[in-house]
Chains A and B, each alone.
Chain A
Amino acid sequence: MATSMDIKYGVSATFNSAKDIYEAAGQVREEGYKNWECYTPIPVHGLDAQMGVGRSKVPCFTLLGGVTGFFTGMLIVWFMNAYDYPLIVGGKPYFSPIYPFPVFYELTILFAAFGTLFGMFFLNRLPQHNHAVFEHPNFGKTGDDKFMIVIEIEDPKFDEVETPSFLKSLGGKSITTIRETID
């Protein structure tokens, strides 16, 4: 324990409503901060635009999964029923894109769903069970009814004095410095 280190992560300010954080977020962006994040109990409608972040990239993973699924389905049906062990059933062709369509269809959806979930995990860098914001004494309230803005110390514009007072001027309450303890 004697070797443990305290590292400053950032400064947080708490807001009481979706409206307050929505307005505050716009001003933080205009001020020119880059490394900052909002923590909210609900996905606040329009907050992405206020923060100046773009559209999520999850659909790329979904598409990738879907296409993979479709061709995997084709491949297994062709390989199993037409190539490796051709079997005549009901006078139907060994392989056709028509009769096993339900198989392609289901595998498209299955792989696309996995693509979506894992794409979301990947883009959100989850699972990640340790993070500095968990050290905030009232972090749990952001899942309940409090809204929080955290500006990281990494931010080029971050200033020991300026940043906390800026957050305060936006109407942020209980300005807190988040520290991360590293053993």
Chain B
Amino acid sequence: MASDTKSDSSVDRPAILDKVDPAPWHEPPLVLNKRSFNWVTEKICGIVEGKTPTWWWWCFITSMIIASFTGMGLVYLVSTGVGVWGNNNPVNWGWAIVNFVFWIGIGHAGTLISAILCLLKQKWRTSINRGSEAMTVFAVMCAGIFPLFHVGRVWFAWWLFPLPNANAIWPQFRSPLEWDVFAVSTYFTVSILFWYMGMIPDLAVLRDRAKETWRKYFYGVLAMGWRNANNHWRNFEMAYLLLAGLSTPLVLSVHTIVSFDFAVANLPGWHTTIFPPYFVAGAIFSGFGMVLTLLLPLRAVFGLHDLITQTHIDNMCKITLATGSMVGYAYSMEFFIAWYGANSYEGFAFINRAFGNYWWSYWIMVSCNVICPQLFWFKKIRENTPLVWIISIFVNVGMWFERFVIANTTLSRDFLPSSWGYYSPTVVDIFTFFGTFGFFSVLFLLFLRFLPLMPLAEVKSVMPQANPHGGKHS
């Protein structure tokens, strides 16, 4: 790259340019300690091929037990009725919508990393994108549970899709909830396609290294006969770029449409045009919180310090800081518009949000989402990995409360004081939500055990050896 500065191709080159000494641009290496390609292969494949670690079994069993809480909650709900949840009149949505938006939001960081950062040529994304995409897929699965069971008679949930049914009635497409069906199912499907397609070359590597017969078949079938040919790579890279280009408007649209569930309703506190960008920023914020929560322990357990470097953590912290500040800005702008709009219902909704019946949830939200990430301004804090991890947990908590605040403060204080109510979750709500963390962990642990945690070819591509124009050999 540096040799380009000495090119003598330009004719009308001002003489002064030759005297200019370009400032050295320090780009930190994305793989530390001058590792070789083989080291990367061994490291990533070793996670899948090695003996199952004891901690994995303990985590897996614990996660299964936690996941069973969701199972119990749902079995009880289906056998009794949706009334076992704390939803009441006027708070008809309760935790179901809160949990749904929470999990969907978490998914967004995965797509941001794999799609938007790919289009922006952010090379540091390579070592974290596979794990984040897996997180996306599993988080959307967790999210899907809540609206699915909230319909009450879950065996009729397929009526949400435009399929012919015995009543000869079709879904009606003027409802944002129907848009949501399309947005979320498309998001889930495209995320899986993107995740899977990116994995094909790595599955081929695992196939070629496999010794046991089951491995040869398992990875062989999944790898589709990929053979590292340049022709394959050519089409693959184009397809990857296109999927990134498709996922970018997709990820922005999904949380926009989720926010339409609220914003299209005529309720004070919901009916605002700031919702789509504010929800998207919040989603990316919560997602990065979750990426940090997941990847920092993995980095320590698998010794991935050369691949997930301080640069990666710094960047993730900075995105968390930026999106956290955007969310904070949205909170204050909502208050400003409520006052400036001079609508007494809107004004009440916001005063009530901060100082009304759910004041505590509002202040949990503000301290976790607005104040906490501001600590990432400081390099000392970004370099303190345990502290970063703790802050990331706060981000997750804060973003759950954000959705709780939005959904419940507005619904519980209706236009008529006679219909005011208060919402508390039941034990079934709590079990069902708590269990989804187990469900998520079970899936994530299986992913760690059976699928490549990082895209080998992409990680290798950002190493100096990948440069065909005189890269250093190691």
- Interface positions of A (Cβ within 8 A of B): 16-19, 21-22, 37-48, 51, 53, 55-59, 62, 76-77, 80-81, 84-85, 87, 89-90, 92, 99-100, 102-103, 105-107, 109-110, 112-114, 116-117, 119-121, 123-124, 126-131, 133-134, 139-140, 142-145
Contact = CB atoms under 8 A, between A and B. Distances in A.
B174 A92 contact: yes
B309 interface: no
Given A126-B225, A139-B208, A145-B38, A90 B234 contact: no
Given A22-B468, A117-B243, A106 B182 contact: yes
Contacts of B426: none
Given A80-B173, A130-B225, A143-B41, A56 B237 contact: yes
Question: Quick one: which of B209, B226, B246, B467 has the most chain A CB within 10 A?
Answer: B246
Chain B interface helix/strand/loop/mixed: helix
B193 interface: yes
Given A77-B173, A107-B186, A140 B209 contact: yes
B208 A46 contact: no
A112 B464 CA distance: 34
Closest 10 CB pairs of A and B: A140-B208, A80-B170, A145-B37, A22-B468, A56-B238, A120-B239, A143-B205, A43-B233, A102-B179, A127-B224
Contact of A38 (B37, B221, B229): B229
B237 A43 contact: yes
Interface string B198-226: 00010011001100000000001100111
A90 B172 CA distance: 11
B196 to A, nearest CB: 8
A53 B231 contact: yes
Given A38-B229, A44-B230, A145 B178 contact: no
Given A81-B173, A102-B253, A110-B190, 11 more contacts: A18-B471, A42-B461, A43-B234, A47-B230, A57-B235, A58-B242, A80-B162, A117-B193, A133-B227, A143-B201, A143-B205
A42 B457 contact: yes
B183 A102 contact: yes
A40 B228 contact: yes
B228 A142 contact: yes
Question: Quick one: which of A38, A56, A105, A109 has the most chain B CB within 10 A?
Answer: A109
A59 B227 CA distance: 22
B178 A103 contact: yes
A43 B236 contact: yes
A43 B467 contact: no
B357 interface: no
B249 interface: yes
Contact of B468 (A47, A87, A99): A47
Contacts of A114: 193
B227 A103 contact: no
A110 B249 CA distance: 12
A89 B249 CA distance: 29
B38 A144 contact: yes
Contacts of B201: 143
Interface of B: 36-38, 41, 162, 168-176, 178-179, 182-183, 186, 189-190, 193-194, 197, 201, 204-205, 208-209, 220-221, 224-239, 242-243, 246-247, 249-250, 253, 257, 260, 456-457, 460-461, 465-471, 473
A129 B220 contact: yes
Nearest to B467: A18
B174 A17 contact: no
Given A110-B190, A129-B220, A17 B471 contact: yes
A27 to B, nearest CB: 14
A145 B463 CA distance: 12
A26 B142 CA distance: 51
Contact of A48 (B173, B189, B230): B230
A18 B468 contact: yes
Nearest to A134: B227
Contacts of A40: 228, 230, 233
18 contacts: A17-B473, A41-B456, A42-B460, A48-B230, A56-B237, A62-B246, A81-B173, A87-B169, A87-B170, A89-B175, A102-B183, A106-B183, A109-B249, A113-B246, A124-B235, A127-B225, A129-B220, A139-B208
A19 B469 contact: yes
A73 to B, nearest CB: 8
Contacts of B205: 41, 140, 143-144
A7 B97 CA distance: 63
